[in-house]
């Protein structure tokens, strides 16, 4: 029989156990090196970072013009387009310096965009200004010196130690499947340019297969941001699908390898989720496997972005390829924190690259951040460096 004193002692023992159980998780969390920021997970450490660099300089003082009459290109000048003018020794030297500096700060992947128009396209030829610095293709061919510029640009990134270089080939004007006529996206697209556009893409892709680039993974984006839902009668979606199908088919038949992508996004959940599904089906139908699933993230709703990331990662895993985020705001810490959190928890096992685009959150400009981009700051925002810029060790 338990005495009154015995019952009291039991109650004390029971209370002590309850207190210990209650406080143990607190101490466990405090001693967790990932939780207290003394080290980072191996998953987050494996993420490669990088950037898109298309123009050597950006006029930040002209930002006000982006929302005025000058349009979104007010801050950039076609004469500073890196690809178009890489044969200028002074410009090349300055870009090499930028590449080396950002590599030193941790960049592993780089990207550029080859904007071009066809010479016989009157609408584009008669535009009063060319902020992008478009290349001009005649009968489906770019000038060879400009193709050489692309190879030399990627070669210099290779020499600086980059692992991957993505080259987007972006037709402009009525050869662009998204070309807008009035309020209708896709309304001015001219499918007659399709063969000549492929000829340009083939020319660039052939150059990227050069033995000179054997130590870097050079990947071409055949159909940038043309990921679209298949079950639709909407003109712009049909244009995108037909363009993407054509380019992937031609690439498969010519090269037969996996050194291509067809990027997806940006867009709302209603648009981008079925587009990802349709693109996966297209890859399977054509019997191809891309270099990666590439998504562009500019939506800022955290729940939608989280679902988008998880859905894209699942798509990449089903295809057996990496996931890349090759465009997002340069300075949106919410997106970067979300990526960091999901990657740290191993919820994005396929995610390989995160590249920032030189555009600030909320800006009306197409490009408004001058290089060199602060790669250390990007790592700080990802939680991989301390606030004073010291790289955190990997947890063991």
pLDDT at 19 over 90: no
Domain containing 326: what range? Answer: 4-381
Q: Do the beta carbons of residue 132 and residue 81 sit within 8 Å?
A: yes
Asked if residue 390 is part of any domain, the answer here is no
Q: Is residue 396 part of a domain?
A: no
Distance CA 274, CA 174 (A): 26
Burial of 20 (0-12, 13-18, 19+ CB in 10 A): exposed
Tokens read off for 253: 């038949």
DSSP state of 393: P
Q: Tell me the average pLDDT across 126-132.
A: 81
Model confidence pLDDT, tens digit, residues 167-181 = 999 999 999 999 988
d(CA 7, CA 4): 5
Q: Is residue 321 part of a domain?
A: yes
CA–CA distance, 313 with 294 (Å, rounded to integer): 10
CA distances from 69 to 73, 124, 173, 230, 368 (A): 10, 18, 20, 37, 17
Residue 71 is predicted with a pLDDT of: 84
Report yes or no on 372 lying in a domain: yes
pLDDT tens digits along 317-351? 999 999 999 999 999 999 999 999 999 999 999 99
Query: 334 with 28: CB under 8 angstroms?
Result: no
Q: What is the pLDDT of residue 36?
A: 57
* Residue 34 CA: distances (Å) to CA of 15, 26, 335, 376: 31, 14, 20, 20
Report phi then psi at 112, rounded to 5: -140, 170
Predicted model pTM: 0.90
- Please work out, in degrees rounded to the nearest 5, the angle formed at the alpha carbon of residue 240 by the alpha carbons of 321 and 180: 140
Residue 391 lies in a domain: no
Residue 392 placed within a domain: no
Count of domains for the chain: 1
Residues 30-58 have a mean pLDDT of 84
Cα 331 to its chain centre, rounded Å, is: 14
Share of the chain above pLDDT 70, in %: 89
296 inside domain: yes
Domain-located, residue 394: no
Query: Using one digit for the tens of pLDDT, what is the confidence trace for 353-388?
Result: 999 999 999 999 999 999 999 999 999 999 999 999
Which pLDDT belongs to residue 14? 42
pLDDT at 120 exceeding the cut of 90 = no
> In 108-120, which positions are buried (b, 16+ CB within 10 angstroms) versus exposed (e)?
bbbbbbbbbbbee
Say yes or no to pLDDT of 28 above 70.
no
Q: If you average pLDDT over every residue of the chain, what do you get? A: 91
CATH of the domain at 332: 3.20.20.330
Angle in degrees, CA 148, 151, 152, rounded to 5: 85
Q: Which two tokens stand for residue 211?
A: 């033995």
Distance between alpha carbon 350 and the CA centroid of its chain, in Å? 14
Tokens of 67: 């929302």
Confidence of residue 17 (pLDDT cuts 50, 70, 90): very low
């Amino acid at each position: 029989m338990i005495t009154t004193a015995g019952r009291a002692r039991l109650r004390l023992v029971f209370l002590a156990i309850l207190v210990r159980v209650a406080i143990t998780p607190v101490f466990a969390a405090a001693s967790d090196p990932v939780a207290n920021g003394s080290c980072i997970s191996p998953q987050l450490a494996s993420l490669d970072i990088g950037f898109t660099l298309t123009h050597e300089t950006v006029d930040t003082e002209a930002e006000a013009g982006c929302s005025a009459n000058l349009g979104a290109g007010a801050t950039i000048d076609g004469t500073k387009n890196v690809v178009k003018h890489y044969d200028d020794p002074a410009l090349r030297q300055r870009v090499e310096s930028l590449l080396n500096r950002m590599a030193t700060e941790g960049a592993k992947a780089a990207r550029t965009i080859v904007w071009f128009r066809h010479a016989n396209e009157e609408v584009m030829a008669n535009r009063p200004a060319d902020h992008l610095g478009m290349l001009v293709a005649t009968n489906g061919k770019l000038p060879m010196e400009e193709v050489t510029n692309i190879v030399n640009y990627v070669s210099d990134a290779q020499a600086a130690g980059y692992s991957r270089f993505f080259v987007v080939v972006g037709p402009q004007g009525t050869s662009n499947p998204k070309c807008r006529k009035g309020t209708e996206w896709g309304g001015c697209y001219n499918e007659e340019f399709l063969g000549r556009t492929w000829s340009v893409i083939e020319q660039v892709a052939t150059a990227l297969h050069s033995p000179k680039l054997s130590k870097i993974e050079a990947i071409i984006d055949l159909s940038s941001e043309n990921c679209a839902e298949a079950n639709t009668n909407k003109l712009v979606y049909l244009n995108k699908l037909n363009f993407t199908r054509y380019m992937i088919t031609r690439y498969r038949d010519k090269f037969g390898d996996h050194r291509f992508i067809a990027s997806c996004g940006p867009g709302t959940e209603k648009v981008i989720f079925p587009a990802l599904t349709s693109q996966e089906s297209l890859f399977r139908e054509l019997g191809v496997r891309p270099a990666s699933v590439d998504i562009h993230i500019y939506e800022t709703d955290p729940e939608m972005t989280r679902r988008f990331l998880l859905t894209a990662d699942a798509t990449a895993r089903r295809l057996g390829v990496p996931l890349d985020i090759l465009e997002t705001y340069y300075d949106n810490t919410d997106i970067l924190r979300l990526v960091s959190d999901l990657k740290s928890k191993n919820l994005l096992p396929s995610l390989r690259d995160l590249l920032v685009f030189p555009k600030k959150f909320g800006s009306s400009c197409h490009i408004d951040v001058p290089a060199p981009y602060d790669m250390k700051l990007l790592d700080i925002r990802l939680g991989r460096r301390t606030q004073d810029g010291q790289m955190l060790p990997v947890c063991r």
